Amino acid sequence: MTLLEGLRAAVGVEHVLTEADLTGSYETDWTRRFSGRSACVVRPADTAQVAEIVRLCAEHGAPVVLQGGNTGLVGAGVPAGGEVLLSLARLTQLDPVDLDAGQVTVGAGVTLAALQAHARAAGLDFGVDLAARDSATVGGLAATNAGGIRVLRYGSMDVQVAGLEAVLADGSVMTRLTGLAKDNTGYDLVRLLVGSEGTLAVITRLRLRLVPQLRERAVALVAVDGVAGALSVLRQLKPLLPDLSAAELFLADGLDLVCGKLGLSRPFPQDHPAYLVVECAGPVDPTDAMVDALSQADGLRDATVAKDAPTRRALWDYREKHTEAISLAGVPVKLDVCLPLGALTEFVDGLPGAVAAVAPEAVVVLFGHLNEGNLHVNVLGAGEAAGAVTTVVLERVASYAGSISSEHGVGRSKAAYLGLSRSPVEVALMRSVKQALDPQGLLSPGVLLL
Ligand code: 2HG
Ligand code: ZN
């Protein structure tokens, strides 16, 4: 039996796609920067089908690339050329919420929005949230250890994952879904797979921790004089606002782009160098506390506090629409980096000059998750200098002891730069882990480890 025949037998003919008009949307990533033809797209419905697909690929020595909602930004979810593209999007099982444990077991293909709705219907919520919530799947979020806009309060995906089920490279299945609160029985194999970017195993189900649903929210947009000003305001607000759940940064040119491309009205009568979206959430309305805290803080050039849900959405849009507005302007070089907070201002101040030295025409748009020092460096118009821009930015990050990937992963786009954030000893150890779990090197070749 050929591989294609085996795959058809495993999942049904209609779930093995080979025609370019059917496979096309799976083969190009969201940014349009990464693209490659697959041998075929396979769409299993459950763990048993995934196991059979992976077993067949191992038998035929066929490389596999894994994809959830195809919202990844580092090229990890699309083929380089010729791989079997394994889409986990049909693994959409939602088990009932376990109210005693405050946990739920879900399929890897469940979207973040569907998980949030499911948890909220049971009076709970999910701790991770991000702009791609309608398409991003929880399997992909776990595979990349995604962060998003509420890391300040709840941490990244690694904190939410209490257990998982995964198909290993030979087709065997590891099921660890009990979600026990305390379990010291050796190596943490669940945590090993979180953030492994599809290079070690195929995550098929997840046991996720849920958080209390906080129905009362307050959102403010604050104008400040720059990154140092934003950090100072955040430092002052934190002790005053125990309900703080987000602190998101963007700059004047990002606001111009969002308003220009998407027709949003400007938030303040005057322009300012930098802006901070802050959100509090709690069981009682945090609006008064937010207003009080803002009135006590120094360094505000202007501020507005939303009075109702549509206005809260509108203030969030200035920040959350950055990715869309940038994509409307062109295909950017996307660099998701993390800096020690003490180095953030100097890093940002020097960045335009450093980029201009290798790409004089390029435009840098910066925004991100301020509390974590996580900046999204988007460079438009780099053209032929895209590689040089990547090198100059990531070397600059490394020179400040930052990380070249904060929450999007290393993927294909930064695999050649891993040594900037990981020592030779660590990279060698990562290679041994990869060799142990995927000796044929069939899972996501070219992703993370070259
Ligand atoms: C966000 O924080 C996402 O909005 C996307 O991580 C970042 O588009 C980007 O660079
Ligand atoms: Zn982000």
Cα 325 to middle of ligand 1, angstroms: 11
Question: 376 CB less than 6 Å from ligand 1?
Answer: yes
pLDDT at 307: 87
Do residues 385 and 358 touch, judged by C-beta distance below 8 A? Answer: yes
- Which atom, in ligand 1's list, is nearest to the CA of 376? 10
Do residues 259 and 231 touch, judged by C-beta distance below 8 A? Answer: no
Cα 73 to middle of ligand 1, angstroms: 8
Q: Which two tokens stand for residue 396?
A: 């600059």
Residue whose C-alpha is closest to residue 123's, from 301, 241, 283, 280: 283
Helix locations, 107-185, DSSP H? 112-121, 138-144, 151-154, 157-160
Question: 334 CB less than 6 Å from ligand 1?
Answer: yes
Cα 272 to middle of ligand 2, angstroms: 22
Q: Is the dihedral of CA 26, 29, 35, 36 positive or negative?
A: negative
| Edge-to-edge strand ranges of the sheet holding 302-305 | 302-305, 216-224, 274-282, 244-251, 363-369, 374-380, 333-338
Do residues 248 and 319 touch, judged by C-beta distance below 8 A? Answer: yes
**Ligand nearest 257 Cα, by number?**
1
Q: Is the dihedral of CA 85, 89, 93, 96 positive or negative?
A: positive
- Nearest 10 degrees: Cα torsion 223, 225, 227, 233: -60
Do residues 296 and 236 touch, judged by C-beta distance below 8 A? Answer: yes
Question: 378 CB less than 6 Å from ligand 1?
Answer: yes
| Edge-to-edge strand ranges of the sheet holding 40-42 | 16-17, 40-42, 84-87, 64-67
**Ligand nearest 336 Cα, by number?**
1
- Which atom, in ligand 1's list, is nearest to the CA of 323? 8
Q: How far apart are CA 438 and CA 436, in angstroms?
A: 6
* Tens digits of pLDDT across the chain (450 residues): 999 999 999 999 999 999 999 999 999 999 899 999 999 999 999 999 999 999 999 999 999 999 999 999 999 999 999 999 999 999 999 999 999 999 999 999 999 999 999 999 999 999 999 999 999 999 999 999 999 999 999 999 999 999 999 999 999 999 999 999 999 999 999 999 999 999 999 999 999 999 999 999 999 999 999 999 999 999 999 999 999 999 999 999 999 999 999 999 999 999 999 999 999 999 999 999 999 999 999 999 999 999 899 999 999 999 999 999 999 999 999 999 999 999 999 999 999 999 999 999 999 999 999 999 999 999 999 999 999 999 999 999 999 999 999 999 999 999 999 999 999 999 999 999 999 999 999 999 999 999
| Edge-to-edge strand ranges of the sheet holding 103-107 | 103-107, 201-209, 161-168, 173-176
Residue from 249, 408, 413, 414 whose mutation best tests the ligand 1 pocket (most atoms within 8 A of CB): 408
Ramachandran angles phi, psi of 408, nearest 5°: -90, -20
Q: Provide the 8-state DSSP code for 137.
A: B
Q: How far apart are CA 420 and CA 403, in angstroms?
A: 8
DSSP 36-51: ---SEEE--SSHHHHH
pLDDT at 373: 98
Please write down the long-range contacts of 352-355, taking CB distance under 8 Å and 24 or more positions apart. Answer: 354/392, 354/393, 354/396, 355/379, 355/389, 355/392, 355/393
- Going by alpha carbons, the residue nearest to atom 6 of ligand 1 is 148
pLDDT at 193: 98
Q: How far apart are CA 40 and CA 327, in angstroms?
A: 28
Q: Which amino acid is at 53?
A: I
Residue 211, beta-bridge partner list: 125
